[in-house]
Each structure stands twice: as C-alpha cells, then as structure tokens.
Amino acid sequence: MYKTGLVLSGGGSRGFAHLGAVKALNEKGIFPDIISGTSAGAIVGSLIADGHKPDDIFSLMTSKSFFAYTKFNFFKKGLFNLKNLQKILKKTYTVENTEDLKIPFYACVVNLNEGKAEYLNRGNILDIVTASASVPFLFKPAEINGVSYTDGGLIDNLPVKPLLGKCEKIICVNLIHLKYKKQFRNTKQVLGRIFDILTYHNRKTDISNCDILIEPPSLYGLPYFSNKKAKETFDIGYNYTKKLNITF
C-alpha cells in the first residue's frame, strides 16, 4: 500500500495547471508515492516521478512555443510527430526505463491494434510518454515493439484504474470540463471541442474513485495547443489547490 496516489488527466497545454496543483500540494506537505497520468498528465507525472520540481518543469516546457516541440510529419499517419519533444525529454530524464523512476509511475496509452487502453509502468520512459501524448490525427501514433499506440485520453483520460487498491488516498487532478459553446472559429477549436467531449464522458466513472478531486472550473476555455497562457494556467492550478482544505 502507498499512502498517496496522484492521478493527472490529459488536457494539452492545460497541463501547466498540473504543475501549479502539484506545487501547492507540496507546500501543504503532500507528496505522491505513486503517479498515474494520461497525455499531458503523463509528461508532467513522469517528470515529477523522475524527481524534477514543478517550477523547473514549467521553465523547461515554456522555453519554446507549443508547436516547436513537434515536427511536421507530411500527413503520414498524423499532421505532426513528437520528435522534438523527445529530444528535450531525453536530455531531461535521469533514467531510461520507467521502472527506474524515483516514484512508481503508470502512463495510460491506447493500443490501436487491439483497440483498448493499457497502463504501462515498465519499458523505455521516452517511448511510453510519447505514446500517451500522441493526440489522434494531430500527432503520428508511437510505435513500441511493433505495436501502434496513441493518446490514452481516447479511452481513459483520468487513469485511476492502475492505482485502485494500492493507495490509502487518491488525489485526482482533472483538466477537462464541458460547457455549451456557440461558435467555432478554426480547426484548432473544433479539434479541442472534440477532445472535450471524448474525454469528459470517459472520465465520469473514474471520478467516483478519487478521494480528493482537484478540478479548477476556470480552466475551461483555455487553449489545448498553445502555451501563450502557460503562466495563467499554472496559477489557476496553484491557487485553486492552495485554497483547498486537504488533510490526511
């Protein structure tokens, strides 16, 4: 049994709120003993599990524009690939394999070949995190041992399942909300809305398994695919979590 489990949802650029939330939890004396994440939550969660501090991760992920972490893929299985992100993460991780991280970590991915979610906690950390963050159509699926993997948020955007029965308390940070939206001005907004709908409905049952749910409502409307509002997003996660009365 672990004392505290931490679950981080997917949410693109809204993942900066994860960093703010984790920083606030740390200031309350709460540190995760095991972590599970999907997509942006897998990136943040893996770096936390590797021993990096929220402020340092924020500096790393805002050093370039959002799409500077991608590379045009000439529409081959996706508009872009994540090779540039891989280069940065490779220099940042202190270990090569997931099982060697300082904190046990699971990443939710979708096995495209079998059409199911998987929760990976062993193997090359770079491959696993890239697979979890490969948003369908936008990014090329990741290949691991001949299997094609894509964003875990397609099936399970709040991956509580691998932590069930392992923790005294599970803290979940959810970045996805669904409200009425009247207009869509561009392709990014349409894609973001589709992601909202998919991930909102596939996380409902998992929320009931969260002992503490951190779900800042003011994240709604913030972009998925831009880090121009990264500081605002970070502050929302931090301030919302800071105000919560969390005691164990």
Question: Which one is catalytic: 50, 127, 151, 206?
Answer: 151
Query: What single letter denotes the amino acid at residue 243?
Result: K
Distance, CA of 57 to CA of 89 (rounded, Å): 10
Burial 73-110 (b: 16+ CB within 10 A, else e): beeebbebbbeebbebbeebbeeeebeebebbbbbbbb
Task: Give the alpha-carbon dihedral of 218, 224, 225, 230, to 10 degrees.
Answer: 30
Question: Which one is catalytic: 9, 13, 39, 132?
Answer: 39
Annotation marks residue 151 as catalytic: yes
Crossing angle of the two packed helices 40-49 and 125-132, in degrees rounded to 10:
150
C-alpha 20: how far from chain center? 13
Annotation marks residue 59 as catalytic: no
Residue 69's contacts (CB-CB under 8 Å, 6 or more residues apart) are: 82, 84, 85, 88
Known catalytic residues? Answer: 39, 151
